[in-house]
Structure 1
Amino acid sequence: MTNEPTDDELLAQSLLRPHAFGDLYQRHAAAVFDFIARRAGSAAADDLLGDVFVAALEARVRYRPHKSGSALPWLYGISANLVREHLRRRRPNALIDTDVGVDWHAVDDRIDAHAQRDQLRRALTALSAAEREAFLLTAWEGLSTTEAAQALDTTAAVVRTRLSRARQRARAVLATASATSA
């Protein structure tokens, strides 16, 4: 059994041996691609994936290790920033982003009943951008609150607060939708 280096170790090694960064890419490219595709679509993910890792390569000297040893929350943070820039360039005059940066075709694949899609869309749209991102990072990407905090460049306490508010707001929207459809 080989002891594979943690992401933190790979990033540290990459400062002297840049090829170590390739191992980090191999480890996380698929997850980062999926993260981007859910927010901006597959075509944008094709374009942005390389940009994420170029930005990460350039920023690796500023990387702060996480207790999990995973760089994925950091990569998600970089990805989220690039997706925001991409969406702003795509829709520069939009005052309100009603699409919430989610690839709804991917949502359809993950949700059992197509009818629930509109309810989920309403619930996610009702959340603030900060609440929605915290919710998606933990519920969809499977990050812990501390990993989500790293991706969002905030504290775990702030993420927990955002999650609590997101759940309350989503429950209220879903309850209203259930009452009107009954």
Structure 2
Amino acid sequence: MTTTDVAADRPDLSGRAAGTALTLLYDSHARDLHHYLSRRLDPTAADDLVAETFLVAWEQRARYDPARGPARAWLFGIATNLSRRHARTEANTLRAMALAAGRATVAEAADATSASRVDAGRAARELAAGLAGLRAEERDVLLLVAWAGLRPAEIAVALELDARTVRTRLHRARTRLRAHLSREGDDG
């Protein structure tokens, strides 16, 4: 990693060039943030939360410490906190989706494509219900790994946690989700 790479990944947001640095961060990370947020919420909410993430980053630029970690992790931390606030009802929404999908009537599968769609729909319902059953802290860590592609060390920076805590939450989330999916598979 060159000095330029480090400067781009850990910019000085406290100086006169903070606006330019934040613009470069937007250009580098807005798409990934949107992808992560749209998978957690919906694309319209993701649009708003990406904009809000950079607004918060601008307002809190003096609090960013490049020595603590890369700006990408810091931005994902802001986005995760905003999504928590936005999605206080996320677990209820996932449960409602699982219930609504469970009530939908499925016509007899006429071919392999239809059967695949039915199986995918069932798997999506089971996954949604499993995610809804996780504690919010565990769900955040799991989705930051699965949907944002962050490593546990980056998540620790993003959520201001100890790396061991992140690994523990990730392990618990995976274990609980596997157990839920296994139970659902046994019932199906």
- Do both share a fold (TM > 0.5)? yes
Q: Does 1:7 align with 2:5?
A: no
Read off the aligned partner of 2:74 and give its amino acid letter: W
Q: Does 1:82 align with 2:76?
A: no
Aligned counterparts, 1:99-118, within 5 A = 99=93, 113-118=120-125
Residues 125-157 of structure 1 show CA distances to partners (whole Å, capped at 9, x for unaligned) of 221111111111112211111111111111110
Normalised TM-score (structure 1): 0.78
The equivalent of 2:173 in structure 1 is 166
Counterpart-to-counterpart distance in 2, 1:87 and 1:13: 29
Counterpart-to-counterpart distance in 1, 2:165 and 2:67: 17
Deviation at 1:13? 5.7
Counterpart-to-counterpart distance in 2, 1:85 and 1:133: 12
The equivalent of 2:92 in structure 1 is 98
Does the CA-based 8 Å contact 1:14-1:20 persist in structure 2?
A: no
Residues 73-121 of structure 1 show CA distances to partners (whole Å, capped at 9, x for unaligned) of 2111111222233335xxxxx6x83225xx99xxxxxxx9333101211
Q: Secondary structure at the match of 1:32?
A: helix
The equivalent of 1:137 in structure 2 is 144
Does the CA-based 8 Å contact 1:56-1:75 persist in structure 2?
A: yes
Count residues with an aligned counterpart.
Answer: 164
Taking every aligned residue pair, what percent have the same amino acid on both sides? 40
Structure 2: gaps (5+ residues): 99-118
Counterpart-to-counterpart distance in 1, 2:181 and 2:27: 39
Does the CA-based 8 Å contact 1:32-1:79 persist in structure 2?
A: yes
Counterpart-to-counterpart distance in 1, 2:172 and 2:130: 12
Structure 1: gaps (5+ residues): 89-93, 105-111
User: Whose radius of gyration is greater, 1 or 2?
Assistant: 2
When residues 66 and 171 of structure 1 are mapped into structure 2, their CA distance, relative to the original with a 3 A threshold, is farther
The equivalent of 1:176 in structure 2 is 183
Normalised TM-score (structure 2): 0.75
Deviation at 1:65? 2.6
Does the CA-based 8 Å contact 1:32-1:76 persist in structure 2?
A: yes
Deviation at 1:45? 1.7
